Amino acid sequence: MPYTYEYPHPAVTVDGVVFGYDDADLKVLLIQREAAPYKLRWALPGGFVEMTESLEDGARRELAEETGITQLYLEQLYTFGEPKRDPRERVISVAYYALVKLADHTVRAASDARNVAWFPVADLPALAFDHEEILDVALRRLKGKIRYEPIGFELLPEKFPLSELQRLYETILEQPLDKRNFRKKILSMGLLADTEEIQQDVAHRAARLYRFDEAAYRRLKKAGFNFEL
């Protein structure tokens, strides 16, 4: 069952940079490699694209197979194709980045029992291949995009207090934000709905919980509204 072509074809893979947020830490999901090259190194989840699936479907499939994660915000990031990025053969990797609500997804061990774990972005192990570069591009993209698109919510639980949203922004942007100005700005966008609930089991005044109002988002987006922070 070999496949033969008149001209050489590179292999094509999809890799995913999956971000999660937990307790003031931005985290990335990594998988430990079992085989050479880079045996035992941590790497981004990913794999070969199948001939009948789209690139995005391939990315979703690989993430589901390797980490069990299925509900996520997914967007194409960049395509990496330096000739020597994989020592075995020419591999073009179409990278996606994803945002998941960490609380909802305790990661399953991969279907093939490889190690899967969340690492804080601020404290990463050495990665396989050019995955450090891919991660770097993903971080810059996330940092840039969160300024003008309301994607931060994808990293938080369904219901969250404003302070948690602010901490998320401060973590990703790596700069402190003024509480009053942040609240004014975010609330004035009209994307947050008050759930009429408050935090439970906190040892201080409980905060109101909000949720992202997706219907409002679509309405405003269609009207050309600007979500710049």
Residues at the contact surface with DNA, assessed by CB under 7 A: 161-163, 178-181, 183-185, 198, 202-208, 228
- DSSP-derived 3-state class of residue 202: coil
Question: Measuring CA to CA, how many Å separate 154 from each of 129, 164, 204, 218?
Answer: 28, 13, 27, 15
Residue 173 CB coordination number (10 Å): 15
Q: How far is the CB of 102 from DNA (least distance, A)?
A: 19
The CB-of-219 to DNA minimum distance in angstroms stands at 18
173 binds a copy of itself per the rule CB under 8 A: no
Question: Does 94 engage in binding with a copy of itself (CB under 8 A)?
Answer: yes
Going by the DSSP 8-state scheme, the letter that residue 23 receives in this structure is: T
Around Cβ 141, how many Cβ atoms within 10 Å?
A: 16
Single-letter residue type at 169:
Y
**Is residue 10 a contact residue for a copy of itself (CB under 8 A)?**
yes
Angle in degrees, CA 98, 103, 109, rounded to 5: 70
Residue of 6, 112, 196, 201 that binds a copy of itself (CB under 8 A): 6
Give me the least distance between CB of 198 and a copy of itself, in Å please. Answer: 38
Locus of tokens 């190690």? 115
Q: How far is the CB of 55 from a copy of itself (least distance, A)?
A: 4
Q: Provide the residue type at 210 as one letter.
A: Y
Residue 79 in the binding site for a copy of itself (CB under 8 A): yes
Interface positions with a copy of itself (CB under 8 A): 1-12, 48-49, 51-55, 76, 78-79, 81-83, 90, 92, 94
